Structure 1
Amino acid sequence: MTLSGEQTIYQAAELHQQLHAALAGHAAIELDLSCVGELDCAIAQVLLWLRRESLRKGVALRFVDPSPASLDFIRLVGLQGELSLEEAAHGS
């Protein structure tokens, strides 16, 4: 699954629903963050929920290739360890 563009409070409810459905229907989820232009605390909360729910349900979860904007925000709020980002093309 790829997130793109602006990911803020205005997209949080819809994203939560999409991820909830993905958790129910998949043994593994890969969330590509390479196209994210903006991220805020509401989306960070959704990503934390996803991490915890995936662990609880035994669903493999990978956050891959964070865009510079998403990586900067996640580092700013101190969640890089919790989210276990896998940096590829944008590595730093």
Structure 2
Amino acid sequence: MTAKANKNDGILCVPIMDDMTIYNAQSLKETLLGYCHAGTQELQLDLSAVAEIDSAGLQLLLLLKAEAQKRGFTLRLLRHSEAVIEIFELLKLGMYFGDPIVIPANWKKS
């Protein structure tokens, strides 16, 4: 699992470099929950490299949203990959997370 945060004034930007599937959900969960501490004002997840996301990955995003609300920081999802956009559209979750979703012009939606 690759997710190393860049910190700037209480804002953590974490690029997710692996798929968000059941195979690595536990290690990703441990890493990302480690960023949910008192000094965090905003946690930004860059999802551009996520080629595959399943229900375990989706549950992790839902958990992080709940943790953000509980602990009083902002969770932002950035640069959604095609896989993330597809599951958000299928399950109508775009509004729940509240982040703008930009669909690239060269999107290969089948």
Q: Give the TM-score of the pair, scaled to structure 2.
A: 0.74
| Aligned position for 2:80 | 66
- Higher share of residues assigned helix: 1
1:75 partner letter: E
1:60 partner letter: T
Q: Give the TM-score of the pair, scaled to structure 1.
A: 0.86
Structure 1 residues 7 and 89: CA distance shift in structure 2, 3 A: same
Q: Is the 8 A contact 1:67 1:90 kept in 2?
A: no
Larger Rg: 2
Q: Which runs of 5+ in 1 are unaligned?
A: none
1:74 partner letter: F
Shift of 1:18: 1.1
Once the two structures are superposed, the pairs formed by residues 30-41 of structure 1 within 5 Å of their partners are: 30-41=44-55
Shift of 1:71: 0.6
Q: Which runs of 5+ in 2 are unaligned?
A: 1-13
Secondary structure, in 3 states, of the residue corresponding to 1:29?
Answer: strand
Taking only aligned residues, the RMSD between alpha carbons, in angstroms, comes to 1.9
Give structure 1 regions of 4+ aligned residues with deviation exceeding 4 angstroms. none
- Higher share of residues assigned strand: 1
| Aligned position for 1:8 | 21
1:42 partner letter: A
Report % sequence identity. Answer: 29
Shift of 1:88: 4.1
